[in-house]
Amino acid sequence: MNAAAALQGRLGRLWAQLRTRLAPRREGTAGPLPVREHVDVGGTRAVRLSAFDTQLVTVVAALVAFGLVMVYSASIALADNPRFSGITQGFFLKKHLIAIGVAFVAALLTVQLPMSFWEKNAPWVFVVALVLLIAVLLPFIGKVVNNARRWIPLGFMNFQPSELAKLAIALYAASYMVRRMDVRENFWRAVTPMVVAVAFVGALLLRQPDMGAFIVIATIAMGILFLGGVNARMFFLIALVMLVVLGLFLAFDDLRRERILAYLDPWNPKYAQGKGYQLTHSLIALGRGEIFGQGLGASVEKLHYLPEAHTDFLLAVIGEELGFVGVAVVIGAFFWLTRRIVGIGRQAIALDRVFAGLMCQGIGIWIGFQAFINMGVNLGVLPTKGLTLPLMSYGGSAILMNAVALAMVLRVDIENRALMRGGRA
């Protein structure tokens, strides 16, 4: 009897321990976590990649898929253009599919790397970006398209170093603010090194020239400095100084000044067939679309009237074929995406992961601000700039770097969830 009672008691204790381990944790309750929940988000061990933001992934995948359809629709007529002689109707579709495939593989690899890896190597990523920005200016390396030397041919795609520079500045600025957190209230000590770095990048970009990329990069850097706690009054002072410098630059650059004048009066006969040509045809396309559009594939402006319809002016084709409803859906998706990325960054900062949080918010500024500029250009509320619509427009290096950046955001979210489940940072 005694042996049977002892055995029964031991089995009861084992069952109680098993129930404790298998039972889901309730908020506010104590007790040991299952062994699989104890993770090290800052080390080399993998976190549970099954716990991630499915809504974020779904919205990104939807934008990429929608972009693929619209790139095909916008580029199908280019086979008849003498400028693209010898290509098939599906030429740009195939190249865009290859770029998406490469981006998907790069994103899968990126999401495996802990944020501690990027924090440690952020300065080196910035150095690599600088080297490539210098290399693209060399005649035997950089490729010239439309009087701009911005691409390095890689065979399967043309890589644009300015896209890497956008990610690099987000990483470097976040790393810099973490390292210089003790002097953030001293404006000149905190900001001067970053101003020098951004100015050097800007000088290289303006040699290409690529004013649009420089504006995006400067905005990312300034946004991270502001969110990192740099004195607000001095921050706005340097923003004012940058605007004055930009104004002076435009005043002494006849080409860009003419673009501004064409933007202000695109229907003027002086500009309608010149610098205002793209804007006027973009507005015509959007006007034809009305509320529900002419129907998928039914755009007239893409038939050799609207230049760069599959890249910079993809939104105009969306507006013509799918109308106000299609444009509103795209705007809403980018608004949600930007808000979600910034929210993940804010959550990381609340968990005392400052580098990851600032980097996320920098990527949110990048995606949101570039989408805002592209949409503004298409809608005629901003001067023409050579910036694509993130995740959607044709462009291999842009899709690749967007995917890598968003994979980093997803990794931050995964590590945030691991910490909130009780993982070790």
pTM for the full predicted model: 0.85
C-alpha neighbours within 13 Å on the C-beta side of residue 117: 14
What confidence category does residue 276 fall into, taking pLDDT thresholds of 50, 70 and 90? confident
Read off the pLDDT of each residue in 141-158 and give the average, rounded to a whole number.
83
Decide: 282 and 272 in contact? Cβ < 8 Å. Answer: no
Q: Are 16 and 4 in contact (CB under 8 A)?
A: no
302-322: average pLDDT? 92
CA angle 160, 227, 119 (to 5 degrees): 55
- Residue 187: what pLDDT? 65
First and final C-alpha spacing in the chain:
51
Mean pLDDT of the 298-307 span? 89
Q: Which residues of 60-93 are buried (b: 16+ CB within 10 A; e: fewer)?
A: beebbebbbebbbbbbbbbeeeeeeeebeeeebb
What are the distances in angstroms from CA 389 to CA 128, 212, 331?
25, 12, 11
DSSP 8-class letter at 80: G
Q: Is residue 392 part of a domain?
A: yes
The helix or strand, by DSSP H or E, that contains position 325, with its residue range, turns out to be helix 314-350
pLDDT at 238: 66
Question: For the segment 213-239, what is each residue's pLDDT rounded down to a tens digit?
Answer: 988 998 999 899 888 877 666 667 667
CA atoms within 13 A on the CB side of 372: 13
Instruction: Return the pLDDT at 26.
Output: 37
Q: Is residue 180 part of a domain?
A: yes
Which residues constitute the domain of residue 292? 47-415
* Domain contains 201: yes
Residue 18 lies in a domain: no
Length of the chain measured in residues? 425
Q: Which two tokens stand for residue 240?
A: 């004012």
Domain count, the chain: 1
Express as a percent the part of the chain with pLDDT over 70. 81
**Quick check: is 230 in a domain?**
yes
16 domain residue, yes or no? no
CA distance 219 to 198: 10
Q: Say whether pLDDT at 253 is over 90.
A: no
Confidence of residue 343 (pLDDT cuts 50, 70, 90): very high
φ/ψ bin of 114: left (φ > 0), alpha (ψ from -120 to 50), beta (otherwise)? beta
Is the pLDDT assigned to residue 148 strictly greater than 60? yes
CA distance 423 to 321: 49
Q: How far apart are CA 127 and CA 311, in angstroms?
A: 29
> Three-class SS of residue 388?
coil
Residue 52 lies in a domain: yes
Strand boundaries in 75-180, DSSP class E? 143-145, 148-153, 158-159
pLDDT band at 2 (very low <50, low <70, confident <90, very high): low
Mean pLDDT, rounded, of the chain: 83
Q: Is residue 182 included in any domain, yes or no?
A: yes
Q: What is the mean pLDDT of residues 153-181?
A: 89
Question: What is the per-residue DSSP string for 25-79?
Answer: PPTT--SPPPGGG--BTTSSSPP-TTSS-HHHHHHHHHHHHHHHHHHHHHHGGGG
